[in-house]
Amino acid sequence: MTDSGVKGPIRAVLIDLSGTLHIEDQIIGGSLDALRRLREASVNIRFITNTTKEGTRSLKERLRCLGIEIGEGEYFGSLTAARRYLIEHQLRPHLMIDSKAMEDFEGISTEDPDCVVVGLAPEHFDFAPMNKAFRLLYDGASLIAVHKARYYMTGSGGLALGPGPFVEVLECAADVTATVVGKPERRFFLDALTDLNIPPEHTVMIGDDVKDDVDGAQKVGMTGILVRTGKYRPGDEHKIDRPPDHVCEDFSEAVDIIIDIVTKQSNVEDAPPP
């Protein structure tokens, strides 16, 4: 590791969305200008998210209205990973997913389900739907968690329960272990880089969740930057075995660090041989 905390030349930057660039329909101050500056640097950008409250098309459109333009191939989300997993394993899901996210599962049969897929869907977390899921699991269906985030930041400034606690209730009741497909799973981070052909050592992850964003990324060899926005709470940086490579006040400060490192790398690469 270099003094900058970066493990190799920066070729790609993975950016969390909710809590890092925006909170619901509010942009976090300075994020748009910082994103513009990052795009001007010689790095590839991927937006990665565990958001399951709405489908990919709807999310991209909402972000576009906020000023966050996501280009073709720049997005990789946990719903994308969940759909891919279902297709690869030829599974028929019982979907405990927000109605606004159902568009991401179009074309996948839900007849005679052999698995239960859980995302952030408060309308499914009452007794009756949870009990239906429990019975399917108890009868042999597998459990798939789109992610297991414990909580998230709402637009009103307060925290709200994520799907993680409800997934753990089902795990406990049915005596099963969920397969998690979103952050912080190793495959999720690596799949986000597949089309870029860039190794984790040349990649930086920026996010507000010390466990799902930073710890997950660092465990696959990426550089992790924790931002003190969104769900961040004082002391979060001490809640993982290996502290974040960098802790920044916000996305803008994180971009300042990356641009500084990229500029120094460029100067070294352009320097004539001794």
pLDDT exceeds cutoff 70 at 6: no
pLDDT exceeds cutoff 60 at 16: yes
pLDDT exceeds cutoff 80 at 8: no
Q: Where are the alpha helices (DSSP H) in 41-104?
A: 56-66, 78-88
Burial class of 16 by CB neighbour count within 10 A (0 to 12, 13 to 18, 19+):
buried
Measured CA to CA in angstroms, residue 61 lies from 14, 24, 58, 69, 123 at distances of: 20, 13, 5, 9, 24
Span 149-193, pLDDT tens digits = 998 888 777 888 999 999 999 999 999 999 999 999 999 999 999
Element (H, E) at 5: none
Span 200-242, pLDDT tens digits = 999 999 999 999 999 999 999 999 999 999 999 999 999 999 9
Span 38-48, pLDDT tens digits = 999 989 999 99
Span 94-145, pLDDT tens digits = 999 999 999 999 999 999 999 999 999 988 999 999 999 999 999 999 999 9
Residue 163: the pLDDT is 95
pTM, entire model: 0.88
Measured CA to CA in angstroms, residue 57 lies from 77, 102, 160, 184 at distances of: 11, 11, 24, 23
What's the rounded Cα separation, in Å, for the pair 218 and 231? 19
Element (H, E) at 22: strand 22-23
How is residue 210 annotated by DSSP? I
Residue 19: the pLDDT is 94
pLDDT exceeds cutoff 50 at 35: yes
pLDDT exceeds cutoff 90 at 265: no
Q: What are phi and psi of 160, to 5 degrees?
A: -135, 150
Q: C-alpha 69: how far from its chain's center?
A: 17
Residue 2: the pLDDT is 41
Amino acid (one-letter) located at 103: E
Q: Give me the residue label for tokens 């497909």.
A: 181
Q: What are phi and psi of 216, to 5 degrees?
A: -60, -45
Residue 98 token pair: 């927000």
